[in-house]
Amino acid sequence: MAPFKAHSVLPGFNLALGFTLLYLSLLVLIPLSSLFFKTAILGWDGFWEVATGDRVLASLRVTFVASFAAAVLNAIFGLIVAWVLVRYTFPGKRIVDALVDLPFALPTAVAGITLAMLYAPNGWIGQYFAEHNIKIAYTPLGIVVALTFIGLPFVVRTVQPVLADVEVEIEEAAASLGASRWDVFRRVIFPSIYPALLTGFALAFARSIGEYGSVIFIAGNMPFISEIAPLLIVAKLEQYDYAGATAIALVMLIISFTLLLAINGLQWWSNRREIR
C-alpha cells in the first residue's frame, strides 16, 4: 500500500516560485531596470554631469539627512509608544492604538497641508516656537517633522508584537537577582527587541526617502535649502527631461539600496551573534 502523501493547499515549489518571480518582475524588476535603460541615453558623462550637479547634490543631502533624522526620532519615540501600548492599560488606549495607524490611512497631501498650517509661524503650534525665533515650517526642520509623522507607524507596528512576546517572568527573575530597571532593559529586553527596532528603523528610513506629498507643502521647496530630491525629479519630468529625472532616481535607488543592504547586513550579523 502506497504511503499517504500530504498535500499542501498552496501549489508546488516550482509553480509558486514561477508566480513569485513573475510577480516581482512585473512590479519591481522591470520598472527598476527601465531606470538603467532610460538613463543610459545620457551616457556616462551625461549621467555624471546630472548626478553631480550642485542642485542635485543639495537635494540629495536634504533628503537623506532629513530621512535619517526622522528615522532616528521614530526609533526612539516609536519604541516608547510601543512600550506604553504593550505594558500599560489606561482609558482611551484603543483610540491611541488606532491613531498610530492614521498616517497609513491619511492622504499624504492632507498631512502636509495640516502640518504646514500647524507649524507655520502663525499656526497653533508654530507661533510658540516663533516667539523664540525658531521656524519649523518651510525649513528643513519642517521636512523632518513631516517624515517623522509618516514613519512612526512602521516602528511602532514592528516593535509592538515583539515586545508583547517578551516574557515578564524573565524580567522579574533579573530584578530578583538585584538588577536595576536600566540593567533589565539593557540586558534583557533590548536584545530581544533590537532586531525588530532595527527593521522598523529601516522601513521608516526607506519610506521617508521617497516621500513627496506630505513634504512639499511644509518644506518651502527652496533650492539648496529645503528642496528634496523627489521634487527635483518631478520638476525634471515637467520639463520633459525624462533622462535627467531617471538619472536622479537612479542615484537615489543606488544609495537607498546600499544603505538598506548595510542595515540588513547589520541585522544579520546581530542575529548571528545572538545565536552564538
The set of cell numbers assigned to 18 is 514561477
Distance from C-alpha of 227 to C-alpha of 232, rounded to nearest angstrom: 7
Q: pLDDT tens for residues 46-103?
A: 999 998 999 999 999 999 999 999 999 999 999 999 999 998 888 989 999 999 999 9
- The whole-number pLDDT of residue 274 equals 60
Q: Give the separation between CA 209 and CA 205, rounded to whole angstroms.
A: 6
Do the beta carbons of residue 219 and residue 63 sit within 8 Å?
A: no
Q: Which residues lie closer than 8 Å to 49 by C-beta, 6 or more apart?
A: 42
18-53 b/e (C-beta count within 10 Å ≥ 16 → b): eeeeeeeeeeeeeeeeebeebbeebeeeebeebbee
Sequence letter at residue 136: I
Q: Which residues contact 179 (CB under 8 A, 6 or more apart)?
A: 187, 188
44-275 fold: MetI-like fold (1.10.3720)
- Give the mean pLDDT per block of 10 residues along the chain (276 residues): 54 78 86 85 90 92 95 95 91 91 88 92 91 92 94 94 84 79 84 89 91 90 91 91 91 87 78 64
Q: What is the 3-state secondary structure (H, E, C) of the chain?
A: CCCCCCCCCCCCHHHHHHHHHHHHHHHHHHHHHHHHHHHHHHHHHHHHHHHCCHHHHHHHHHHHHHHHHHHHHHHHHHHHHHHHHHHCCCCCHHHHHHHHCHHHHCCHHHHHHHHHHHHCCCCCCHHHHHCCCCCCCCCHHHHHHHHHHHHHHHHHHHHHHHHHHCCHHHHHHHHHCCCCHHHHHHHHHHHHHHHHHHHHHHHHHHHHHCCCHHHHHHHCCCCCCCCCHHHHHHHHHHCCCHHHHHHHHHHHHHHHHHHHHHHHHHHHHHHHHHHC
> Given this model, what pLDDT does residue 5 score?
52
Predicted pLDDT of residue 146: 94
pTM: 0.85
